[in-house]
Structure 1
């Protein structure tokens, strides 16, 4: 029996399809990674030919197989308090400006995308609780989104390895975590403080409900996009932000190279990008 294979033509067809669906583009150096996961799903679905699997992937009404494959294809490498200078910037420089524009009684809304397994949104929650005095005077909504449904379930469960929590300050560990047989469980109060949602950033129908945010964190996602997808993402975030709202990117990403919609703000802790107030 001949083993199933992925030809160069197959790879290109899938690459173009996945890019249209997610905005993520795999370059040829990722070929082994992509082929391995395609072959895994072909075997799991009983397809010995890429052609028949690809037809199912494109036309399956439920979209279930595309979601399963997307979960396998996306990278979720993160840990607590990664690039935490941006969290200091949030507390010391951004939040005072947000509060100054905020109407009394309206919540401060922060969108974190991708959520990955939850380390970043939970880090933001702990930072606000521990370092921002205004947390007792203002309601803060944390919405964390990802395209990967498996990783969202993991984030909601709040279970983390020793490696993930290595940079969590010891006082925070004692207050917000408890040891379990599988690693560390984050406390229920923090788990309930973050709303996790499934969002495909490249799908306007998915992102349209996300409006009225004061701050967006989108760190180390746009490096997987090409120029066209990055520009579209910048426009999506522009629509999601309130006038004067802020967006924070990863250290290797620059909104100035993506879009002219935002103005650069150089705070003492970090460079961030702001939607104009006018």
Structure 2
């Protein structure tokens, strides 16, 4: 170990075993370059469980789904805020939804999926945006589903309480109408809006995700593919394709592209955003 280098909690072999475990369960790639990040989280979980060594803790991971869930929760990235990538919300109300209601009748269902949804800012943003910007929102049965692999953030999302940074891009008027201000730094979504979004656990790399969640008109899956390798990206995109209705749309993050991942989607270019479409049935 070099002078001044922090001691390593995991041996090279331990690190490899753990990273392989995380990759199989989540599709996320970790390795030596993120050792400090990994060591700290594993050490916390080992202490919390009272395991005597990493070996005994790893055996617990393999046998206890609850502990595996807690460890995975500690590794997920939950950076988000309301009205993130707002240009896609403009595209949603101006282009995507008008296209999706062609052939539908008033009262028909429109399903929108936000995955991963983290602590709920993105699916709640969709709900607020539609109430404010789509004059047909009450004419259709709009179902918004938020999903994430992290069970802890799903509980936070359903509770609907947010800090100052999360709501910083919302106008004072929107905060006043859709939130109860708890103090100078905390806001909670009003009950009617909380009830407009349902939250369900889902793993993007699980090939049965489409079967368990149903099919959607529009999917927002933003800023997660950047954490995957090529194989995990392909599996994820295939799963998302299966979760879309024919002609449905997929919105990725602004740094993400379908090129070199899949040729199954059509590129759809609109005034506000470039998105991806599952081909309509012939």
TM-score by length of 1: 0.95
- How is 1:165-184 mapped onto 2 (pairs within 5 angstroms)? 165-181=167-183, 183-184=186-187
Residue number in structure 2 paired with 1:233: 236
1:268 equivalent to 2:253? Answer no
1:47 equivalent to 2:47? Answer no
Deviation by residue 1:157-199 (Cα, 9 ceiling, x = unmatched): 1111111100012221111012104610111111000000111
| Match for residue 132 of structure 1 among 125, 131, 134 | 134
1:8 equivalent to 2:12? Answer yes
Aligned-pair CA distance for 1:207: 4.1
Residue number in structure 2 paired with 1:84: 86
Contact 1:216 1:246 survives alignment (8 Å): yes
Deviation by residue 1:95-150 (Cα, 9 ceiling, x = unmatched): 11001143554200001001101110111000000000110211100010001111
Residue number in structure 1 paired with 2:74: 72
Find the aligned partners of 1:53 and 1:154 in 2 and give their Cα distance.
27
Q: Number of residues paired by the alignment?
A: 274
Find the aligned partners of 1:179 and 1:105 in 2 and give their Cα distance.
34
3-state DSSP of counterpart to 1:251: coil
Aligned-pair CA distance for 1:4: 8.8
Contact 1:81 1:167 survives alignment (8 Å): yes
Contact 1:108 1:213 survives alignment (8 Å): yes
Residue number in structure 2 paired with 1:194: 197
- How is 1:139-218 mapped onto 2 (pairs within 5 angstroms)? 139-181=141-183, 183-218=186-221
Structure 1: where are the runs of 5+ without partners?
none
Pairwise CA RMSD? 1.5
Contact 2:206 2:239 survives alignment (8 Å): no
Find the aligned partners of 1:274 and 1:71 in 2 and give their Cα distance.
31
Find the aligned partners of 2:205 and 2:31 in 1 and give their Cα distance.
18
Structure 1 consecutive aligned stretches of length 4 or more whose deviation exceeds 4 Å:
none
Structure 2: where are the runs of 5+ without partners?
1-6
